[in-house]
Structure 1
Amino acid sequence: MIIKTRFAPSPTGNLHIGNIRTALYSWLFAKNNLGSFILRIEDTDITRYKKNSIENIINGLKWLNIDWDEGPYFQSKRLDRYNYIINNMIKQKLAYKCYCSKEELEKNKIEQILIGKKVKYNGKCRNLNNFIHKDNKSFVVRFRNPDNGIVKFNDKIRGTIIFHNNELDDLIIKRTDGIPTYNFCVVVDDWDMGITHIIRGEEHINNTPRQINIIKAIGAPIPIYAHVSMIVNKSGEKISKRFNNMDILQYKKSGYLPEALLNYIVRLGWSYGNQEIFSLDDMKKLFNLKNISKSPSILNINKLIWLNKYYLSKLSKTYMINYLTDFFEKNHININNGPKVNDLYNIFHDRCNTLKEITNLCSIFYRTPDYSKVNSIDKYLNLDTKIILNKLLKKFTLINVWSLLIISSSIKEISIKLNLNFSNIAMPLRLAITGMVNSPPINYIIYLMGQKKVLKYINNAINFISLNNIKL
């Protein structure tokens, strides 16, 4: 059997970590088995359709290097196919038209709740089509679910799962607006596209028996199912499209690397011994369904940060310089107005957790420090530290060869002359030069900043103290 999996998101919200895990697992399973992976967009829910969602889905997958062998297919382009099958089902009495109004359905629902019955359609229109037609009246089409028996399937993660047909509803497969519903469309799509394995979230378990009954009714082969457990935050709240979610492309904007994010996501429910680091090739080679856990996975941003820092330090210098250059451009940083990216990389790449942190730190070379935005500014820029800054200004002005060695020696000389620890010198100097209380070693910053800017910024800090008459 040729393995064929699919990722079928709906363009109704953000593509979040849970979606990507489903896509990644489906993709890896296909790749591990030399199969095919299909991208399908389930876009029939027009009322919840969100602008730019399809573009974000495609861009998110491309950024993460999850490619597809077929697609993207769009359900909205397949309405004729769905309607053809539905019409045949009506003729064969596998489905029927239901003319019940919303008021009738709501009344029936309340009555069932009051007597403690499970809420389901009461079957009023089940046999109506045998002797009467109300085609001028609004209707839905319902699937005629079997009255008795069971639906049994072997979930590759959870084992044998059984549902009783008398607990299932005659679900709607076509709405009053003429658009077929998810549970029907997905069955036809998987059949037509030859999907052999369906890997999806556990929230779809209750959909599975309904879909299997439709599959049996239309004579299609039943796929193999694997339902992965939910992803929750530290409080145990589910991560979903509508709750606790973050658009996957936001991780890109926040400076995370695709290699780190994929490595993090693959471990949200799947393991291979004690191994923590997985390249894409590792994942394709090692991934299987038997090592997926039934337990919920907990999001841990610290683990993602750790992985991202690992990849920042391990990826090739050429790769990282290209990535940084692109990141600077997108953040409107003119790299021609400061140190070379190569020099910045050498200092920052193993000191930061994300590309965004690197660019935030690197921005000190391309903007004038704004002391008014610093908390507790008077702790570092005051009349006492003004003396230190004046000494440093004079010393740096006299430097003829701007080098790390001479800069470091000059700071040490001032420290000895004023009988102060290096930190007492470095903190006001760092704030004067960068506008930040934290940065990599100040001597490196001063060297890369260049003598002209350093003298200008120290002078700015001295004037700031004088204008504000800041006392310790």
Structure 2
Amino acid sequence: MSEIVTRFAPSPTGYLHVGGARTAIFSWLLARSQGGKFLLRIEDTDRERSTPEATRAILDGMAWLGLEHDGELVYQSERGHIHNAAVDAMLEAGTAYWCECTPEEVEAMREKARAEGRKPKYDGRCRERGLGPGPGRVVRLKAPLDGVTSYDDMVKGPISVANEEMDDLILRRSDGSPTYNLAVVVDDSDMGVTHVLRGEDHISNTPRQIQIYRALGISAPRFGHVPMILGPDKKKLSKRHGATSVVEYDAQGILPEAMLNYLARLGWSHGDQEIFSREELIRCFSIENLGTSAAVFDMDKLLWLNSHYIKESSPERLADLLPRHFEALSLPVPEREALLRVIPHYQPRAKTLVEFVRNSAFFFVADDALIYDQAAVAKFLTPEARERLAQMRGMLAALPDFGEETVERALGEYVASSGASFKVIAQPLRVAVTGSTQSPGLHQTLAALGREKTLARLDRALKL
């Protein structure tokens, strides 16, 4: 079997959204699982809507997901002369022709066909006129008039379309620019693409593109169309379902391996396995296991996977990733050593890096900037509790060291000697040093804060 070559060909008219990213992942996995090549082409021929910023966002999204491509990055806009050379070859071979019908005339043909209960399409009146180039003229494909155009879709199985359902589509516009369907065929052929995986919104283009391949006398690649991704309401995934650009998920504190794992599993399966490393995805991926029905985007499932990967990450890696999230929330960026002390206490409980930052921020703010939950203060910092806090302050100040074991032993001894339950002791102390009733284990929290910050916060709480 010859080498498999796949491609991802986004239009830079917006960011890399979840649906496009998943298509890219499937194409990348198909190539990598077979030891083939994965190519990247930017389809930037829509000059009004294509922007360098969108191209950069697509490339950033691909890099974030780790979808490295082979060979040079191809820009479709730089290949217009190659596309037009293909159109000229089709004119020479008689598989394309010049047409002088105006858009208004073509629309009138379609309206007439609708009124007569026929398929609304161009009626081919210039097909045999032998026209040459001229102002306002386009070039059309001389498509077969009868029979069917068939292909075996890698995902959906055999698909056939009656040729009478299709019209002679335009290959070159009146301004000399090639159309999408023509450019895609020429580019895929030139790049040696053997397998095209794309969204099912392209199904209607495929028979037309196959006709262009045949008119050019070149073999078509294998096509596969993956179903759409729906929101929880079973409607097309959109902004209202939350962020749909992969770089937005990065900003929300989702790890790239969680997003890669989640999107790969969204419409593909390998038994009941849910968690896959990159290497496992490559080893296990097969076209046969792609789903044929639409997948529903489930944010809770993504967060579950993300929490798994946060737990599995090294504290050193998280210490590299977290500072920009502190900056994004306008919080002071902790010193690395302080961050490394706190990270192990939040790895088991954080669903995102942003949640990690929000919940751990109290460790790193200046002692006089700590914000207190007033309801917690009113409930737990009672006169009786303040008396105990003063006693515990003296006890903590006198400890030989401030390690977790030493602090835990001292708290246990204080509870035993006071005759009160640990809960009665713990919550006032927790509110005093964290500002709220939520934190990791109390001895862990105090040890991570350190003696100096713990005592300073107790002093401040006692004055509240």
TM-score range, shorter chain: 0.7 to 0.9
Residue 416 of structure 1 deviates from its aligned partner by 7.1
Identical columns (%) = 35
Aligned counterpart, 2:376: 380
Aligned counterpart, 2:303: 305
The verdict on how the C-alpha distance between 1:373 and 1:14 changes in structure 2, with shifts beyond 3 A counting, is farther
TM-score computed with the length of structure 1 as normaliser: 0.86
Q: Give the one of 321, 328, 342 matched to 2:323.
A: 328
Aligned counterpart, 1:442: 442
The verdict on how the C-alpha distance between 1:179 and 1:420 changes in structure 2, with shifts beyond 3 A counting, is farther
Aligned counterpart, 2:343: 345
Does residue 235 of structure 2 align to residue 234 of structure 1? Answer: no
CA distance in 2, matches of 1:357, 1:179: 50
Aligned counterpart, 1:396: 393
Code of the residue aligned with 2:375 in structure 1: it is: K
CA distance in 1, matches of 2:63, 2:305: 20
> Contact 1:324–1:355 at 8 Å: present in 2 too?
no
Residue 208 of structure 1 deviates from its aligned partner by 0.5
> Contact 2:426–2:442 at 8 Å: present in 1 too?
yes
> Contact 2:386–2:462 at 8 Å: present in 1 too?
yes
CA distance in 1, matches of 2:418, 2:168: 86
Code of the residue aligned with 1:278 in structure 2: it is: F
Within a 5 Å distance, the mapping from 1:44-123 to structure 2 comes to 44-123=45-124
Does residue 280 of structure 2 align to residue 279 of structure 1? Answer: no
Code of the residue aligned with 1:122 in structure 2: it is: D
> Contact 1:12–1:49 at 8 Å: present in 2 too?
yes
Code of the residue aligned with 1:47 in structure 2: it is: E
The verdict on how the C-alpha distance between 1:258 and 1:131 changes in structure 2, with shifts beyond 3 A counting, is closer
> Contact 1:239–1:245 at 8 Å: present in 2 too?
no
Code of the residue aligned with 2:124 in structure 1: it is: G
Residue 410 of structure 1 deviates from its aligned partner by 6.0
Partner of 1:381, secondary structure, is helix
TM-score computed with the length of structure 2 as normaliser: 0.87
Residue 268 of structure 1 deviates from its aligned partner by 1.4
Does residue 447 of structure 2 align to residue 452 of structure 1? Answer: no
Aligned counterpart, 2:13: 12
> Contact 2:334–2:364 at 8 Å: present in 1 too?
no
Within a 5 Å distance, the mapping from 1:136-147 to structure 2 comes to 136=135, 138-147=136-145
Does residue 245 of structure 2 align to residue 247 of structure 1? Answer: yes
Aligned counterpart, 2:4: 3
Code of the residue aligned with 1:269 in structure 2: it is: G
Within a 5 Å distance, the mapping from 1:192-271 to structure 2 comes to 192-239=190-237, 246-271=244-269
CA distance in 1, matches of 2:142, 2:429: 78
The verdict on how the C-alpha distance between 1:40 and 1:122 changes in structure 2, with shifts beyond 3 A counting, is same
Residue 21 of structure 1 deviates from its aligned partner by 1.8
Residue 414 of structure 1 deviates from its aligned partner by 7.0
Residue 280 of structure 1 deviates from its aligned partner by 1.6
Code of the residue aligned with 2:404 in structure 1: it is: L
CA distance in 1, matches of 2:88, 2:367: 70
CA distance in 1, matches of 2:361, 2:215: 63
The verdict on how the C-alpha distance between 1:266 and 1:141 changes in structure 2, with shifts beyond 3 A counting, is same
Partner of 1:44, secondary structure, is coil
Residue 285 of structure 1 deviates from its aligned partner by 1.7
Partner of 2:139, secondary structure, is strand
The verdict on how the C-alpha distance between 1:271 and 1:370 changes in structure 2, with shifts beyond 3 A counting, is farther
Aligned counterpart, 1:469: none
CA distance in 2, matches of 1:188, 1:420: 80
Unaligned 5+ runs, structure 2: none
Cα deviations by residue, 1:424-451 (Å, 9 ceiling, x for unpaired): 5444543443344432223322221223
CA distance in 1, matches of 2:131, 2:178: 25
Residue 114 of structure 1 deviates from its aligned partner by 4.0
Code of the residue aligned with 1:52 in structure 2: it is: E
Partner of 2:3, secondary structure, is coil
Cα deviations by residue, 1:372-414 (Å, 9 ceiling, x for unpaired): 987xx44312286242246414532552233435544665677
- Could you tell which deviates more after superposition, 156-165 or 96-105? 96-105
The verdict on how the C-alpha distance between 1:367 and 1:113 changes in structure 2, with shifts beyond 3 A counting, is farther
> Contact 2:393–2:458 at 8 Å: present in 1 too?
no
Unaligned 5+ runs, structure 1: 466-472
Partner of 1:290, secondary structure, is helix
Within a 5 Å distance, the mapping from 1:145-160 to structure 2 comes to 145-160=143-158
> Contact 1:4–1:36 at 8 Å: present in 2 too?
yes
CA distance in 1, matches of 2:424, 2:127: 85
Partner of 1:145, secondary structure, is coil
Partner of 1:70, secondary structure, is coil
CA distance in 2, matches of 1:21, 1:131: 45
Residue 179 of structure 1 deviates from its aligned partner by 2.7
Code of the residue aligned with 2:340 in structure 1: it is: N
> Contact 1:339–1:449 at 8 Å: present in 2 too?
no
Residue 168 of structure 1 deviates from its aligned partner by 0.9
CA distance in 1, matches of 2:218, 2:242: 37
CA distance in 2, matches of 1:63, 1:302: 21
CA distance in 2, matches of 1:331, 1:96: 62
CA distance in 2, matches of 1:242, 1:86: 42
> Contact 1:5–1:198 at 8 Å: present in 2 too?
yes
Residue 461 of structure 1 deviates from its aligned partner by 4.7
The verdict on how the C-alpha distance between 1:53 and 1:423 changes in structure 2, with shifts beyond 3 A counting, is farther
Partner of 1:173, secondary structure, is strand
Q: How many residue pairs align between the two structures?
A: 456
The verdict on how the C-alpha distance between 1:338 and 1:156 changes in structure 2, with shifts beyond 3 A counting, is closer
Residue 181 of structure 1 deviates from its aligned partner by 2.0
CA distance in 1, matches of 2:42, 2:381: 62
Code of the residue aligned with 2:43 in structure 1: it is: E
